[in-house]
Amino acid sequence: MTKVVIDYPVHYTSLPHGDITFVLAHLYLKNEDYKFQIDQLKSRGRELMLDNGAWEFGSSMPPREYLKIIEELEPTYAVIPDVYRNSLQSEKMTREFLDMNPSTGSTQLMFVPQGESVKEIIRSHENLIDDYGMFYDILAIAKHIGTIINRVDFVNQLVALADEVSTDVHFLGFWNWKEFDEKKNGNWKLVSLDTKYPVKRAIDHKFTDQLEYYNTNLYLDEELFDSEVEGMYLELQQRGWLND
């Protein structure tokens, strides 16, 4: 079943909508209110997906500092450090993280292959697999790949070409519903999808950047928000993804 992961502003982090709460490591480290809300969710058994912030803050948290948060929070999932669109720097950061022989307990590691073309992204994935074997649990597909190729089609290609690859896939960010019209091959499943979309729909404001989004305390229409989240489940179901 595809799970919906909600990426909330700090003010609304405690809301229970969706299956999983998206957690930004930078905010968890520096914002006491955010950390308190996340810790409360964790204590109540909420599934958490920790992200390194490469997309939201322009750079990933340094691997050693990031690993300390994984060890403290023990999230359900954690995205391995990467560098947005840069395959060489992303590989370097991933290697630094893996070379620490991270003890992540029950946390499932998510890997985001980076690059500017399909060939480059697949090559980067294969370079790391060649050196470390299967080092991750879930393949995470960056949102910007949707500007290069349909992400479903991209995963079809990667699964077909890779020597080793996880068949559990996460989409980082909601792109549009058209990409879900692409038919996937039967060798992988979309286990989760993270999104800000329902939140943005329920707050009558156009955000200029990521920091404005996370810092907002503007009114959120919870009835509309709930409707938008349910609408996402319905769209996934109608396209045959929800019960995959």
Query: Using 50, 70 and 90 to split pLDDT, how confident is the model at 80?
Result: very high
What stretches of 24-181 show up as alpha helix (H) in DSSP?
Answer: 25-30, 32-43, 54-57, 63-73, 87-98, 118-132, 151-161
CATH of the domain at 44: 3.20.20.105
Among 61, 57, 56, 39, CA closest to 48: 39
Q: Which long-range contacts (CB under 8 A, 24 or more apart) does 191-194 make?
A: 191/2, 191/3, 191/138, 192/2, 192/3, 192/4, 192/5, 192/19, 192/20, 192/49, 192/77, 192/138, 193/2, 193/3, 193/4, 193/5, 193/236, 194/5, 194/6, 194/7, 194/20, 194/22, 194/49, 194/170
pLDDT in tens, 89-147: 999 999 999 999 998 999 999 999 999 999 999 999 999 999 999 999 999 999 999 99
Average pLDDT, rounded, for the chain: 94
Does the residue 68 lie in any domain?
yes
Query: Using 50, 70 and 90 to split pLDDT, how confident is the model at 24?
Result: very high
Model pTM score = 0.95
User: Does residue 64 carry a pLDDT above 90?
Assistant: yes
User: Does residue 244 carry a pLDDT above 80?
Assistant: no
β-strand 138-141 against 77-79: which pairing, if any? unpaired
Percent of the chain beyond pLDDT 90? Answer: 85
Does the residue 94 lie in any domain?
yes
The pLDDT, as a whole number, for residue 90 is 95
pLDDT in tens, 211-225: 899 999 999 999 999
Does the residue 52 lie in any domain?
yes
| Rounded average pLDDT over 5-31 | 95
Among 148, 151, 66, 145, CA closest to 107: 66
**Structural domain containing residue 158:** 3-238
User: Does residue 154 carry a pLDDT above 70?
Assistant: yes
More confident residue, 37 or 181: 37
Does the residue 243 lie in any domain?
no
Query: Using 50, 70 and 90 to split pLDDT, how confident is the model at 176?
Result: confident
pLDDT in tens, 1-16: 899 999 999 999 999 9
pLDDT in tens, 42-61: 999 999 999 998 888 777 89
Q: How many Cα atoms within 13 Å fall on the side-chain side of residue 127?
A: 17
Region for 18 from its dihedrals, namely left if φ exceeds 0, alpha if ψ lies in -120 to 50, beta otherwise: left
Does the residue 244 lie in any domain?
no
- Our count of domains for the chain comes to 1
Distance CA 170, CA 156 (A): 13
Does the residue 213 lie in any domain?
yes
Does the residue 75 lie in any domain?
yes
The pLDDT, as a whole number, for residue 112 is 97
Does the residue 91 lie in any domain?
yes
Q: What residue type is 141 in one-letter code? A: I
